[in-house]
């Protein structure tokens, strides 16, 4: 029944609103705190708000007395993974911390760990004697439990199960204890194993639930949840026998007796919840790699809860558990021993049989915790790897590193708390006999109906159970055909499409506009381009290069062509060359400042230009000051001065500072001030006087910035005329300054130098020779372009004709 | 000229010829020899720049500071400190220290360049266009055409349709012609420069090998 938090009316399970007041009722997976009326997830042992125990004794007894309701509840509550994935915001649960605080007093208590002084008040309240409190509901529930216990004792057990000893049942109960609802239901009726119900699409089994699956006999009585028809028609006989009221296991008796101990049942529930949650999360995070798991891990949401990251980081602390007193063998007995060996598992001494309920319950609790710890320790190396990958995933999820560190600390505390749980003295004695039964381990007999509901990818067609790999470790060690837990846990989630980038109507129209505007820019496709037939690209390049070299060499060795071919230097004299000659010729012996702003890469063209200028200055007997803004220009200046035999030369060297340095030098020229340390050199009076008398600035530039720098920084503040000697490629850039008068004259490359040389210097030098060869090469290029155009044009026409 | 000098010139000439052929091999395709030559050019240029800087800038400066200790000498402390701060940018942890020097360099350089651009380019170019009004008008018109070619925007009418002005296609086509002519002229100039460089290089080797063989024969 679901108690309405508003009017306290009992409502049937399944109702969403109260039958009395119409207020919203908590869901099946939720429970209302009896103290503060807040709604909590059903798996929580205590209220998130006030810490009050959520699972009151009367609930268990009431449900146990109504199998139908109990089964429904058991179906809802154990589905831990579904709740964590879809419904319950796990990151909001701090129950681990609360649980720690609750269990700590018990752990540090006396030998039994259940002294009244060490039990929290809320536990004492919950477990108070109903007769003392006079609570009629509790009294009724207790009566129902007693009546049902009597029925169970009277029930006939199957032959196979009668051989089960109390220790076997204690194992099973220990496994069930990890699942609160199942454990509760087991006391009164058989519970359905998680994963067997087809309705459970993703049976996320904790470790203890896995243990129960590996014990066929123990799970016989858990088929109650199956449909009746299916149970009647398909169930094997031996399983049908189990469909009777379960026998009363010894440990159950002990647990019932232990219920009288204040706080013990709550402790079991809390530890069971802890184990269930931890095992679930651990299985999710650290099960062997598979494609499905990849999906699960990578699909961790950005707001992944802290405890998930905590569990992932917990693996880093597993090595600390190596020194733990908990033995792996004890856990293996819990997990992997066949119930057919139950004779060995039977208690051997009266002391064990007469162990107090408290001791047995604590022993079960410790065993469960040990199973959890040891199971994690077995996968230590794998856990480390998975942790690293998970940390990477953590980065993708956007969790800050600080939160991860904090989670790591909390994980340490959690492990420490688990280690501190009391261990029963008789536990090892009870469980150890099963170690000797590995050799007689029998394979499980999976019924047909279970085969039918087994997923295809796990055990359907093509699944060879006989030749399936044997489980190497863990609680399922030694078994074949084990269904991978990861596959059952993996839920392929479709990535949420981000809806932030939907195009608006305006954006679509803008795209359409852009497409319209760019339609005219579409070029011909490669298929439409004519290609040279039978000639590869390299061959074509070789042919063109060879022809080009031959033509240039012909121009060099056949100077007579100079007068034949048009384009000779005698034909056209640029206006800038005339102006440059006039200015240079009018120097009258005044010094000239020549800036070599080019590197050896452009020396082939600008050396010729510099040569004609320097030869003219040499004829004028004008002193020459050389400077350069580029380091490679300094040796170029020295070489050209030496080559042209300049009589008076002063090398100012490198001029650092780019525009600033040029401006500073222009200031020295214009204002006739003493520039003591221009270009870091101490200039004597003669040099300063020479700078102040500079009558012409010649800029030999191969790049725009150098030319512009001289024009802007020096030309704007000085009346000294500037002439340029630039490459042909730089000619268009110098033209505007020539038109504005900022450049008095300009020699544009080889044609300008040849014109200057042949028409004004009066001698046919290197420039004229080079120009003849260049003009011949240019004509060859023109002919080649014309021939190629005709050839490919005709080819294109042929293709069109064929089409 | 001795034999050793001749052989030295021959070695240098052969090396230069080999490197020239390696560069020209790029006509076929990119190859290791071409890359090696390019890397050598870059490395030698950088190394030579360092040598020139030390020889022409740092060495004369320190010599003058050591020889003559005057008031002006102390002024060099400022650039010296800025230089040292600039060296700190070589290390990531101290890179921020060099920002002071970079700020000075960029700030002063930008100011000087801006003044020069205004006084040396903008104002004179505007004035010359003013003097030749017709030429200025043509230049402005062609500039508008060229800019209109890169205008990729339009308005939406009330129905949400894209509307382009009727004159825009014509102006854009005109701009396309202007850009084509300008790029063609620049490309032709670059091609001509390349031909000159090739011609000069071939001429150089022919002349130098001729001189060398003359010396060897003589």
Q: How is A485-547 classified by DSSP, letter by letter?
A: HHHHH---PPPPPPGGG---HHHHHHHHHHHHHHHTTPPPPGGGS---TT--HHHHHHHHHHH
Alpha carbons within 13 A on the beta-carbon side of B131: 8
Residue of A nearest to B113 (CA): A659
The proportion of chain A whose per-residue pLDDT surpasses 90, expressed as a percent, equals: 6
CA-to-CA dists, residue B154 to A76, A208, A512, A752, B166, angstroms = 61, 70, 11, 47, 12
A364-377 b/e (C-beta count within 10 Å ≥ 16 → b): bbbbbbbbbbbbbb
Candidate from B117, B154, B189 with C-beta closest to A732:
B189
Q: Convert the pLDDT of each residue in B123-148 to its tens digit.
A: 888 887 777 788 888 888 999 999 98
Q: How many CB atoms lie within 10 A of CB A588?
A: 9
Could A774 and B197 be called an inter-chain contact, meaning their C-beta atoms sit closer than 8 Å?
Answer: no
What is the rounded CA–CA span in Å between residue A729 and residue A752? 12
Query: Would the pLDDT of A507 be above 70?
Result: yes
Could B200 and A605 be called an inter-chain contact, meaning their C-beta atoms sit closer than 8 Å?
Answer: yes
Candidate from A634, A773, A778 with C-beta closest to B192:
A778
Sheet of strand A624-628: strand arrangement: A649-654, A624-628, A592-597, A696-701, A722-726, A745-748
Could A742 and B124 be called an inter-chain contact, meaning their C-beta atoms sit closer than 8 Å?
Answer: yes
Q: How far apart are the first and last CA of chain B?
A: 10
Q: Mean of the pLDDT values across residues A232-251? A: 50
Q: Residue A746 phi/psi, 5° resolution? A: -155, 140
Q: Would you call A462 helix, strand, or coil by DSSP? A: coil
Q: Which of A220-224, A406-410, A551-555, B105-109 has maximum average pLDDT?
A: B105-109
Q: Which of A112-121, A347-356, A688-697, A753-762 has maximum average pLDDT?
A: A688-697
Residue of B nearest to A663 (CA): B112
Could B189 and A781 be called an inter-chain contact, meaning their C-beta atoms sit closer than 8 Å?
Answer: no
Q: How does DSSP classify residue A20?
A: T
**DSSP bridge pairs for A10:** A3
Q: Mean of the pLDDT values across residues A262-286? A: 60
Could B48 and A608 be called an inter-chain contact, meaning their C-beta atoms sit closer than 8 Å?
Answer: no
CA distance A791 to chain B (A): 22
Among A41-45, A486-490, A655-659, A694-698, whose mean pLDDT is lowest? Answer: A486-490
Q: Examine the predicted complex and report whether its ipTM is higher than 0.90.
A: no
CA distance A648 to chain B (A): 20
Could A654 and B61 be called an inter-chain contact, meaning their C-beta atoms sit closer than 8 Å?
Answer: no
Q: Convert the pLDDT of each residue in A382-411 to its tens digit.
A: 545 555 555 555 444 445 556 656 767 777
Query: Would the pLDDT of A75 be above 50?
Result: no
| Contact residues, A window 614-653, toward B, CB-based 8 Å cutoff | 630-632, 634-635, 653
Q: Would you call A225 helix, strand, or coil by DSSP? A: helix
Closest C-alpha to A722, from A761, A684, A766, A666? A666
Q: Hey, is the C-beta of A712 within 8 angstroms of any chain B C-beta? A: yes
How would DSSP label each residue in A129-190?
A: -HHHHT-HHHHHHHHHHHHHHHHHHHSPPPHHHHT--HHHHHHHHHHHHTSHHHHHHHHHS-
Q: How many CB atoms lie within 10 A of CB A480?
A: 15
Q: Mean of the pLDDT values across residues A320-325? A: 50
Please give the structure tokens belonging to residue A15: 């109702």
Closest C-alpha to A774, from A563, A541, A553? A553
Q: Would you call A53 helix, strand, or coil by DSSP? A: strand
Q: Hey, is the C-beta of A703 within 8 angstroms of any chain B C-beta? A: no
pLDDT band per the 50, 70, 90 thresholds, residue A628:
very high
Q: Hey, is the C-beta of A244 within 8 angstroms of any chain B C-beta? A: no
Could A680 and B203 be called an inter-chain contact, meaning their C-beta atoms sit closer than 8 Å?
Answer: no
What is the rounded CA–CA span in Å between residue A560 and residue A563? 6
Residue A627 or A684, more confident: A627
What is the rounded CA–CA span in Å between residue A177 and residue A270? 9
Q: What is the largest CA-CA distance in chain B?
A: 92
pLDDT band per the 50, 70, 90 thresholds, residue A725:
very high
Q: Which residues of A touch B199 (CB under 8 A)?
A: 552, 555-556, 604, 770, 773-774, 777
- Which residues have CB under 8 Å from A496's CB, separation 6+? none
Alpha carbons within 13 A on the beta-carbon side of A450: 19
pLDDT of amino acid A605: 87
| Contact residues, B window 51-80, toward A, CB-based 8 Å cutoff | 51-53, 55-58, 60-61, 64, 72
What is the rounded CA–CA span in Å between residue A73 and residue A59? 11
What is the rounded CA–CA span in Å between residue A306 and residue A312? 10
Among A60-74, A141-155, B18-32, B107-121, whose mean pLDDT is lowest? Answer: A60-74
pLDDT of amino acid A756: 85
Q: Would you call A32 helix, strand, or coil by DSSP? A: strand
Could B195 and A555 be called an inter-chain contact, meaning their C-beta atoms sit closer than 8 Å?
Answer: no
Q: Hey, is the C-beta of B107 within 8 angstroms of any chain A C-beta? A: no
Whether A152 and A246 have beta carbons less than 8 Å apart is answered as yes
The CA dihedral of B111, B115, B121, B123, to the nearest 10 degrees, is 140
A31-44 b/e (C-beta count within 10 Å ≥ 16 → b): bbbbeeebbbbbbb
pLDDT of amino acid A246: 47
Task: Name the H helices within B68-98.
Answer: 71-75, 77-87
Among A125-129, A338-342, A591-595, whose mean pLDDT is lowest? Answer: A338-342
Could B199 and A727 be called an inter-chain contact, meaning their C-beta atoms sit closer than 8 Å?
Answer: no
Query: Would the pLDDT of A353 be above 90?
Result: no
- Which residues have CB under 8 Å from A672's CB, separation 6+? A688, A691, A692
CA distance B178 to chain A (A): 15
What is the rounded CA–CA span in Å between residue A313 and residue A316? 6
Query: Would the pLDDT of A206 be above 50?
Result: no
Among A42-46, A510-514, A638-642, A697-701, whose mean pLDDT is lowest? Answer: A42-46
| Contact residues, A window 486-525, toward B, CB-based 8 Å cutoff | 505-506, 509, 512-514, 516-517
Candidate from B28, B152, B203 with C-beta closest to A770:
B203
Please give the structure tokens belonging to residue A186: 């087991």
Whether A321 and A377 have beta carbons less than 8 Å apart is answered as yes
Gyration radius (Cα) of chain B, Å: 29
Q: Mean of the pLDDT values across residues A439-449? A: 68
pLDDT of amino acid A440: 58
pLDDT band per the 50, 70, 90 thresholds, residue A671:
low
Could B203 and A660 be called an inter-chain contact, meaning their C-beta atoms sit closer than 8 Å?
Answer: no
pLDDT of amino acid A234: 53
What is the rounded CA–CA span in Å between residue A797 and residue A617? 59
Residue of A nearest to B108 (CA): A660
Q: Hey, is the C-beta of B185 within 8 angstroms of any chain A C-beta? A: yes
Q: Which residues of B touch A505 (CB under 8 A)?
A: 160
Q: Hey, is the C-beta of A746 within 8 angstroms of any chain B C-beta? A: no
pLDDT of amino acid A689: 81
Q: Hey, is the C-beta of B48 within 8 angstroms of any chain A C-beta? A: yes
Q: Hey, is the C-beta of B180 within 8 angstroms of any chain A C-beta? A: no
Query: Would the pLDDT of B91 be above 80?
Result: yes
The model carries a pTM of 0.48
Q: What is the mean pLDDT of chain A?
A: 65
Could B116 and A713 be called an inter-chain contact, meaning their C-beta atoms sit closer than 8 Å?
Answer: yes
Could A712 and B191 be called an inter-chain contact, meaning their C-beta atoms sit closer than 8 Å?
Answer: no
CA distance B146 to chain A (A): 16
What is the rounded CA–CA span in Å between residue A254 and residue A259? 8
Candidate from A556, A729, A736 with C-beta closest to B206:
A556
pLDDT of amino acid A427: 45
The CA dihedral of A331, A336, A339, A344, to the nearest 10 degrees, is -50
Which of B23, B24, B182, B200 to mutate to test binding with chain A, by most A CBs within 10 Å of its CB? Answer: B200
Gyration radius (Cα) of chain A, Å: 48
Q: Which of A159-163, A213-217, A258-262, B160-164 has maximum average pLDDT?
A: B160-164
Residue B207 or A81, more confident: B207
Task: Name the H helices within A672-744.
Answer: 685-692, 704-709, 731-740
What value, to the nearest 5°, has the Cα angle with vertex A369 and ends A276 and A376? 80
CA distance A335 to chain B (A): 57
pLDDT band per the 50, 70, 90 thresholds, residue A158:
very low
Could A556 and B199 be called an inter-chain contact, meaning their C-beta atoms sit closer than 8 Å?
Answer: yes
Could B112 and A713 be called an inter-chain contact, meaning their C-beta atoms sit closer than 8 Å?
Answer: yes
Q: Which residues of A touch B203 (CB under 8 A)?
A: 556, 766, 769-770, 773
Q: Which of A188-202, A669-683, B191-205 has maximum average pLDDT?
A: B191-205
């Amino acid at each position: 029944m679901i108690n309405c938090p508003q009017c306290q009316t009992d409502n049937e399970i399944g109702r969403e609103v109260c039958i009395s007041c119409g207020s919203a009722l908590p869901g099946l997976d939720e429970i209302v705190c009896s103290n503060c009326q807040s709604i909590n997830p059903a798996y929580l042992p205590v209220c998130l708000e006030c810490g009050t125990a959520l699972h009151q004794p009367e609930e268990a007894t009431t449900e146990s007395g109504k199998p139908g309701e109990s089964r429904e509840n058991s179906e809802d509550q154990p589905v831990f993974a579904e709740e964590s994935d879809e419904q319950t915001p796990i990151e909001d649960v701090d129950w681990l911390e609360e649980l720690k605080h609750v269990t700590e007093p018990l752990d540090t208590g006396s030998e039994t760990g259940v002294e009244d002084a060490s039990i929290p008040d809320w536990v004492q309240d919950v477990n108070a004697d109903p007769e003392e409190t006079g609570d009629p509901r509790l009294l009724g529930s207790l009566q129902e439990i007693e009546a049902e216990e009597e029925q169970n004792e009277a029930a006939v057990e199957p032959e196979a199960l009668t051989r089960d000893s109390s220790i076997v049942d204690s194992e099973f109960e220990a496994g069930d204890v990890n699942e609160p609802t199942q454990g509760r239901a087991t006391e009164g009726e058989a519970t359905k194993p998680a994963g067997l119900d087809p309705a459970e699409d993703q049976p996320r089994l904790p470790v203890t639930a896995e243990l129960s699956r590996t014990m066929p006999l123990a799970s016989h009585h858990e088929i109650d949840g199956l449909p009746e028809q299916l149970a009647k028609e398909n169930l094997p006989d031996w399983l049908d026998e189990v469909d009777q009221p379960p026998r009363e296991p010894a440990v159950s008796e002990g647990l019932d007796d232990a219920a009288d101990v204040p706080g013990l049942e709550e402790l079991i529930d809390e530890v069971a919840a802890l184990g269930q949650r931890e095992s679930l999360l651990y299985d999710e995070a650290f099960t062997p790699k598979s494609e499905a798991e990849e999906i699960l891990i990578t699909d961790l949401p950005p707001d992944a809860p802290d405890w998930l990251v905590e569990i992932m980081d917990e693996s880093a602390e597993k090595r600390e558990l190596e020194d733990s007193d908990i033995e792996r063998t004890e856990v293996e007995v819990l997990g992997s021993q066949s119930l057919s060996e139950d004779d060995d598992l039977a208690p051997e001494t009266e002391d064990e049989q007469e162990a107090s309920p408290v001791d047995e319950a604590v022993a079960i609790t410790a065993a469960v915790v040990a199973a959890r710890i040891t199971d994690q320790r077995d996968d230590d190396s794998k856990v480390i790897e998975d942790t690293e990958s998970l940390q990477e995933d953590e980065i993708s999820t956007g969790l800050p590193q600080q939160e991860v560190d904090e989670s790591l600390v909390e994980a340490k505390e959690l492990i420490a708390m688990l280690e501190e749980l009391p261990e029963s003295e008789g536990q090892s004695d009870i469980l150890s006999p099963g170690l000797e039964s590995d050799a007689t381990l029998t394979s499980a007999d999976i019924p047909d109906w279970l085969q039918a509901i087994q997923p295809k990818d796990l055990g359907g067609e093509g699944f060879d159970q006989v030749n399936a790999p044997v489980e190497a470790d863990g609680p399922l060690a030694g078994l074949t055909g084990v269904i991978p837990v990861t596959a059952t846990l993996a839920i392929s989630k479709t990535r949420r499409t981000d809806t932030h980038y939907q195009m608006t109507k305006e954006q679509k129209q803008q795209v359409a506009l852009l497409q319209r505007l760019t339609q005219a820019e579409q070029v011909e496709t490669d298929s439409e381009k004519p290609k040279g037939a039978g000639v590869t690209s390299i061959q074509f390049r070789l042919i063109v290069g060879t022809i080009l070299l031959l033509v240039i060499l012909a121009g060099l060795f056949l100077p007579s062509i100079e007068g034949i071919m048009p384009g000779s230097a005698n034909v056209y004299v640029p206006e800038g060359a005339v102006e440059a000659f006039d200015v240079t010729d009018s120097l009258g012996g005044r010094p000239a400042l020549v800036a070599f702003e080019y590197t050896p890469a452009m020396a082939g063209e600008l050396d010729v230009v510099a040569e004609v200028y320097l030869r003219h200055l040499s004829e004028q007997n004008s002193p020459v000051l050389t400077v350069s803004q580029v380091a490679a220009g300094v040796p170029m200046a020295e070489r050209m001065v030496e080559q042209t035999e300049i009589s008076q030369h002063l090398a100012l060297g490198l001029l650092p500072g780019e525009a600033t340095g040029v401006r500073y030098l222009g200031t020295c020229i214009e204002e006739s001030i003493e520039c003591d340390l221009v270009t870091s050199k101490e200039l004597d009076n003669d040099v300063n006087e020479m700078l102040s008398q500079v009558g012409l600035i010649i800029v030999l530039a191969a790049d725009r910035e150098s030319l512009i720098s001289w024009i802007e920084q020096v030309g704007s503040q000085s009346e000294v005329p500037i002439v340029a000697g630039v490459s042909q490629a730089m000619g268009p850039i110098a033209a505007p300054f020539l038109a504005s008068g900022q450049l008095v004259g300009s020699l544009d490359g080889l044609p300008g130098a040849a014109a200057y040389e042949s028409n004004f210097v009066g001698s046919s030098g290197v420039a004229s020779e080079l120009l003849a060869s260049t003009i011949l090469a240019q004509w060859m290029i023109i002919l080649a372009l014309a021939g190629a155009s005709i050839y490919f044009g005709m080819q294109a026409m042929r293709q069109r004709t064929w089409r | 000229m001795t034999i050793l000098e001749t052989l030295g010139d021959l070695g240098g000439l052969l090396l230069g010829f080999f490197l020239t052929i390696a560069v020209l091999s790029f006509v076929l395709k990119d190859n290791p020899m071409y890359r090696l030559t390019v890397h050598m050019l870059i490395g030698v240029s950088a190394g030579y720049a360092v040598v020139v800087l030390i020889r022409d800038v740092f060495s004369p400066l320190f010599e003058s500071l050591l020889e003559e200790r005057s008031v002006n000498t102390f002024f060099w402390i400022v650039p010296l400190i800025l230089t040292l701060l600039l060296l700190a940018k070589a290390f990531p942890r101290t890179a921020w220290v060099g920002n002071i020097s970079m700020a000075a360099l960029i700030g002063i350089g930008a100011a000087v360049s801006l003044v020069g651009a205004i006084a040396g380019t903008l104002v004179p170019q505007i004035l010359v266009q003013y003097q030749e009004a017709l030429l200025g008008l043509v230049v402005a018109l062609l500039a508008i055409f060229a800019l209109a070619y890169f205008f990729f925007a339009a308005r939406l009418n009330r129905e949400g349709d894209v509307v382009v002005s009727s004159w825009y296609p014509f102006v854009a086509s005109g701009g396309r012609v202007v850009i084509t002519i300008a790029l063609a002229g620049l490309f032709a100039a670059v091609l001509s420069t390349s031909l000159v460089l090739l011609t000069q290089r071939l001429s150089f080797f022919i002349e130098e090998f001729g001189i060398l063989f003359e010396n060897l024969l003589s």
